[in-house]
Amino acid sequence: MARSPQDKAAWLDLDPATRERLDFLDPEDFTVGPTAEGAAQWERFTAILDKAENYRPRH
């Protein structure tokens, strides 16, 4: 499957640590979809990842 520029940009937009955790995924197979719905899902996904990566539990 050929990747679109959107797919490549989305993969590169991931935090390097996140890409390491997704090592089971071939970057060539990673897709966010060419639709408005796919773009919206990607925005939600990255927002959740950002929130999780920045989470600091209270002590």
The answer for residues whose C-beta is within 8 angstroms of residue 6's C-beta and 6 or more apart is: 32, 34, 39
Residue boundaries of the structural domains of the chain: 5-53
Helix (H) / strand (E) containing 50: helix 36-53
3-52: pLDDT as tens digits: 778 888 888 888 888 888 888 888 888 877 667 777 788 788 888 988 98
Q: Pick 2 or 24 by higher pLDDT.
A: 24
Note the Cα 27 to chain centre separation in Å: 11
The pTM of the full predicted model, rounded to 2 decimals, is: 0.50
Q: Is the pLDDT of residue 1 over 60?
A: no
Which residues, in sequence order, are CB contacts of 10 under 8 Å at separation 6+? Answer: 30, 32, 42
Residues 6+ apart with CB under 8 A from 53: 15, 17, 18
